Amino acid sequence: MSDNNLTAGQALVRLLANYGVETVFGIPGVHTLELYRGLPGSGIRHVLTRHEQGAGFMADGYARVSGKPGVCFVITGPGVTNAATAIGQAYADSIPMLVVSSVNHTASLGKGWGCLHETQDQRAMTAPITAFSAVALRGDDLPELIARAWAVFDSERPRPVHISVPLDVLAAPVSRDWSAEVVRRPGRGQPCRELLDQAARKLAAAKRPMIIAGGGALQAAEQLQQLSTRLAAPLFTSVAGKGLLPVDAPLNAGSSLCVEPGWQLISQADVVLAVGTEMADTDFWRERLPLTGELLRVDIDPRKFNDFYPCAMALHGDARQTLAGLLEQLPDLDRDPAQASAAVANLRQAIRNGHAPLQATHQAILDRIAAVLPDNAFISSDMTQLAYTGNYAFASRAPRSWLHPTGYGTLGYGLPAGIGGMFATDHRPGLVLVGDGGFLYTAQELATAVEELDRPLVVLLWNNDALGQIRDDMLGLDIEPVGVLPRNPDFIGLARAFGCAVRQPRDLDALQADLASGFATPGVTLIELKHTCVC
């Protein structure tokens, strides 16, 4: 087909390629054929997933590791509803994701004719879990909608966008070739000089300043390290901000605001600088942090300044640029970091000494992982007790190296997100931490992993033969446990059937050896670690 006769589906794929999209996750269906017509020759790699939820989670993992928007193609109706859980997770955790779906023919929309995959109002289903959800009623609407999506990714709090295209619009020739009309205007910026000067004076005058950094600060690691050092300020991170300081940095307090020693330390701060963090209870494991000092907030989302933690100063802007501005305004400080460093060292020791028996078991496993994990590896974790402990007890070596479904708390995230993360670079190995319950939500994506990956992806399956957290919660509330002891399949046989290399260590020494072997083996290795082997 000549360029003069491009369908909207073809032109859309070319446009995405011109925006720099390199990988698309999805499952072709009768309602997305016109999108797939455009993929050959586009330079975009298509990754076949085994479920649309898996496509969404892979796009999420790709975005978290790469920092670029993850993209998936799904069909009308059930494709969108299957992907909705992944969209909700990306929304909760501020992940840039573009979901392109079809929708029924324009003439049928909202009519209830009983068309294949018909949904009464598809846009309305995703509107609450996206930055925006729109329907392209003409092919010529698409360049504007894609530009608007990238404006969200580049200039606002990054969140998913859903664009639906009716079947007749996808198949119709476009009136002109707009596939090269890329519009990107990144514009986060920084607050005015006066506000930066006021904030710098408050920080300089503070006796016990502390910093909390989140996923919105991932591009500001260098500035955070400088600020922490100059202020002699302990730096806490949310789970999304893990790795912002080097593991051995004396002021690195880690993601410890979910445990008692972290709460005790932050309560001593007279000024807290919160950078790019929602400050949500899903990071803190309590309703409210015990903040007694002034709170200064740096955020791209102005709605955060007057929510659950109203602030004394609101610095609306890009984290990296705003912190760079603060560093310029800070006067010369001659701070002795000894007291703050000692407090952080005591915090770390108190966390290790304070583990309950289950968390001590998790720590022993995490220590074996740390001993053999390649320096450039990333970890994708599911909603499982091992990962809950790892959220605060495992030290990430770099940003974008610990993926966890914090806000929405979605089971089944770990495996497909880990697979997606593997496509974000051409050199990083991956580790998936998943429990037996969550694994069965998306186990079919092992087929995608085995088919597509030639670098090491190790899946560590923590099998406690239970929905362990829910069982423990029931017991803690004096509820007789119901539905928390499922009959599991033969996980080793299942993984072998997909084509994985498999291991089943009997103790921690064997686990460490099997992990090392997995990281040295191209492709997918599943390691089933039964709780009875380490408890």
Q: What is the pLDDT of residues 334-346, one digit of tens each?
A: 899 999 999 999 9
Q: What is the mean pLDDT of residues 497-507?
A: 97
Predicted pLDDT of residue 535: 66
Q: What is the mean pLDDT of residues 518-530?
A: 97
Which among 409, 416, 418 is positioned nearest to 388, based on CA atoms?
409
Q: What is the pLDDT of residues 292-332, one digit of tens each?
A: 999 999 999 999 999 889 899 999 999 999 999 999 999 88
Q: Strand, coil or helix: what is 72? A: strand
- 60 touches 97 (CB < 8 A): yes
Residue 362 pLDDT greater than 60, yes or no: yes
Backbone phi and psi for residue 251, each to the nearest 5 degrees, phi listed first: -100, 10
Which of 12-21, 111-120, 472-481 is predicted least confidently? 111-120
Predicted pLDDT of residue 187: 81
CATH architecture group of domain 355-533: 3-Layer(aba) Sandwich (3.40)
Predicted pLDDT of residue 4: 60
Q: How many CB atoms lie within 10 A of CB 431?
A: 26
Q: What angle do CA 67, 65, 48 make, to 5 degrees?
A: 105
Binned at pLDDT 50, 70 and 90, residue 65 comes out as: very high
Q: Which helix (H) or strand (E) holds 237?
A: strand 235-237
What share of the chain in percent tops pLDDT 90? Answer: 88
Beta strands in 307-424 (DSSP E): 313-316, 378-381, 402-403
Residue 493 pLDDT greater than 70, yes or no: yes
Q: What is the pLDDT of residues 102-148, one digit of tens each?
A: 998 888 788 888 888 889 899 999 999 999 999 999 999 999 999 99
The ranges assigned to domains in the chain are 3-171, 193-349, 355-533
Residue 521 pLDDT greater than 60, yes or no: yes
Encoding tokens for residue 491? 């996980």
Query: How many Cα atoms occupy the beta-carbon half-sphere of 476 within 13 Å?
Result: 6
Q: What is the pLDDT of residues 192-219, one digit of tens each?
A: 899 999 999 999 999 999 999 999 999 9
DSSP 147-188: HHHHHHHHHSS---EEEEEEHHHHHSBPSS--TT--------
Contacts 24+ apart (CB under 8 A), 368-371: 368/508, 368/511, 368/512, 368/515, 369/394, 369/431, 369/460, 369/515, 370/394, 370/395, 371/512
Beta bridge partners of 226: none
Predicted pLDDT of residue 115: 84
CA 263 to chain CA mean position, Å: 24
Predicted pLDDT of residue 186: 81
Q: Does domain 193-349 have CATH number 3.40.50.1220?
A: yes
Q: 193-349 with 355-533: one CATH topology?
A: yes
For the chain, percent helix, then strand, then coil, each to nearest 5?
45, 15, 40
Taking all residues of the chain, what is their mean pLDDT, rounded to a whole number?
A: 95
If DSSP states are collapsed to H, E and C, what string results for 313-344?
Answer: EEEECCHHHHHHHHHHHCCCCCCCCHHHHHHH
Q: What angle do CA 271, 272, 276 make, to 5 degrees?
A: 150
Residue 398 pLDDT greater than 60, yes or no: yes
Torsion angle of the four alpha carbons 87, 90, 95, 100, in this order, in degrees rounded to the nearest 10: -10
Binned at pLDDT 50, 70 and 90, residue 363 comes out as: very high
Predicted pLDDT of residue 1: 44
Q: What is the pLDDT of residues 274-298, one digit of tens each?
A: 999 999 999 999 989 999 999 999 9
Which among 182, 186, 185, 175 is positioned nearest to 15, based on CA atoms?
182
Q: Is the dihedral of CA 318, 220, 261, 364 positive or negative?
A: positive
Q: How many CB atoms lie within 10 A of CB 301?
A: 16
* Higher pLDDT, residue 485 or 59: 59
CA 250 to chain CA mean position, Å: 27
- Spatial neighbors of 241 by CB under 8 A, at least 6 apart, are 213, 214, 215, 217, 218, 255, 276, 277, 399
Q: What is the pLDDT of residues 221-254, one digit of tens each?
A: 999 999 999 999 999 999 999 999 999 999 999 9
At the top level of CATH, the class of 3-171 is alpha beta
* Higher pLDDT, residue 464 or 59: 59
Encoding tokens for residue 4? 């003069």
Predicted pLDDT of residue 3: 57
Q: What is the mean pLDDT of residues 352-372?
A: 96
